[in-house]
A and B are shown apart, each in its own frame.
Chain A
Amino acid sequence: MADKTQDDDLDLFFAAARKGDRARYGAGADSLSAQGADVPTGMEAFLARIEADAFAAQAALQAPAPVATSEEAPAREGWLAQLWSAIGGWPSLAGLATATVAGVWIGISPPAALSAQAAVLTGQSSATSGLESDLYLVDLMPGLYDELTSATDG
């Protein structure tokens, strides 16, 4: 009996809460046929946000996956990657490495002919001493001069 009284008393409070919710938020499922007509003040902005989320989610669902992939691919390739493919990738690196090593080696230990030629070209050898002191340092045909002079003398 005490429980019955307790329930009756509490029902007044629950009824007030239900009524408050209906007035504040709308009746939800109960107002389907009249939707839009009885949206309580202050609910429009909230419902608009929810609808915007819903439409965005639908747009994401409808977007075909392959298109999204092909749109992403170019964006991932930066300027470094573009440069890499422009010079030919890994195969071109072998050639570059060889050329670099050769350049370093020539710098450390230049061939004699190159040094002499370089001296003439850069003007480090004088006009008078040029042929004798520089180019003649490299004797490509040793003995030829002697043979020629002995033939003339003879």
Chain B
Amino acid sequence: MTDMPLDALSTLSDDALLVLFSNGDPAAAQLLTRRLAPRVLAHAARLLGGDRAEAEDVAQEAMLRLWRIAPEWRQGEAQVTTWLYRVTANLCTDRLRRSGRRRYATLDQVPEPEDDAATPAEAMEAREREEALQQALDELPERQRQAVVLRHIEGLGNPEIAEIMDISTEAVESLTARGKRALAKALAGRRDELGYDDG
């Protein structure tokens, strides 16, 4: 089989790339990695309180499961990202339960986000907001945290979140609404400090 160039492959769906992957196409493996692994890592880090090293372990494990299941993947039945988000969340839940502790924001351990457009003061403010949000997320019940992260940080729609979490869309709405109320309450005390009103 002739390997397709990356640019040609990039128009293909994840499903189609998995077929090529199973046929041994190295470009498909490369593209799937670059398309999916960063999202899996970001999601794992959010659910694990920003712990980068542990999030990388979880993301690697989730991707490894995808590589192994690739030959049996049924086209069109589920989205690859839906499956990956679910596997990632389950792996995070296992880790959190095994360690028996809550995670607290450790975003300062990861490389400083680069943002050329922002002034140092704006960048610091954004960073403080992000850390405050992570701390508040860490205090939420697990399912609320997952729903809020999927909806408002990953930007997924309620039907897809419902599929990932194996619940109804109404239950998703309820979880995100309760989660957001709890977040607003937790962050209310930092209104002045974090410049709520300048947005």
Contact = CB atoms under 8 A, between A and B. Distances in A.
A73 B22 CA distance: 27
A43 B38 contact: yes
Interface in A1-44: 6-29, 31-33, 35-36, 39-43
B67 A10 contact: no
A32 to B, nearest CB: 4
Nearest to A8: B199
By Cβ-Cβ distance, the 9 closest A-B pairs, closest first, are A23-B113, A57-B67, A54-B29, A13-B133, A16-B129, A28-B39, A25-B38, A12-B199, A32-B10
Interface residues of A, number: 46
A25 B42 contact: yes
Interface of A: 6-29, 31-33, 35-36, 39-43, 46-47, 49-51, 53-55, 57-58, 61-62
Nearest to B151: A14
A11 B129 CA distance: 11
B126 A46 contact: no
Given A11-B199, A61-B22, A21 B42 contact: yes
B127 A46 contact: no
Contacts of A47: 33-34, 37-38
Interface string B5-24: 01100100000000001101
Contacts of B187: 9-10, 13
A129 B22 CA distance: 94
A61 B110 CA distance: 35
Interface string B90-133: 00000000000000000100110111000000000011011011
A60 to B, nearest CB: 9
B106 to A, nearest CB: 12
A20 B29 contact: no
Interface in B34-69: 34-39, 41-42, 45-46, 56, 59-60, 63-64, 67-68
